[in-house]
Structure 1
Amino acid sequence: MDESDENRRTIAACEECGSLYAALELSEDKLRPIGRRDGCRCGGTDFSAVDGSLSDPSLDETDE
């Protein structure tokens, strides 16, 4: 089974320093940065999902 079948990709922010990472949503409250199994570069291990509207391809910023 492909890992993408079980886990959704999202963007996560480190709760310690605010660094952003591509991440896998393992459960509703558990995020793991892709390629950083031990956590953030700052040492933080808690992440929160970034608002999905920031990466929504249907939003066109040129419509001003």
Structure 2
Amino acid sequence: MGNTDANRRTIAACEQCGSLYAALEFSDETLRPIGRRDGCQCGCTEFTAVDGSLSEEALGGGDG
């Protein structure tokens, strides 16, 4: 198995349509939506990480 310690959960936005996905961010900074191996529902495969504080809150790691 690979080094899963270098991967972290985050929120990723599709660069084409803006859809948001729970995603894994790998040590090489690539993003892969969880459960969407083929990319976004619009067909795009390029994603941008959403602001870290928003990601933590959405994934249940925030204080609120």
Q: State the TM-score, normalized to the length of structure 2.
A: 0.76
Gaps of 5+ in 2: none
* Structure (1/2) with the larger strand percentage: 1
State yes or no: 1:27 paired with 2:27.
yes
Match of 1:57 among 55, 58, 62: 62
Percent identity, aligned pairs only, is: 69
4+ long deviations beyond 4 Å: 1-4
Q: What is the TM-score normalised by the length of structure 1?
A: 0.76
Question: Is there any run of 5+ residues in structure 1 with no aligned partner, and where?
Answer: none
Higher helix share: 2
Between structure 1 and structure 2, the one with the greater Rg is 1
Aligned residues: 59
Which deviates the most, 45-54 or 23-32?
Answer: 23-32
Q: Distance in 2 between matches of 1:47 and 1:33?
A: 9
Counterparts of 1:2 and 1:23 in 2: how far apart (Å)? 17
Q: 1:40: which partner in 2? A: 40
| Cα RMSD, aligned residues only | 2.0
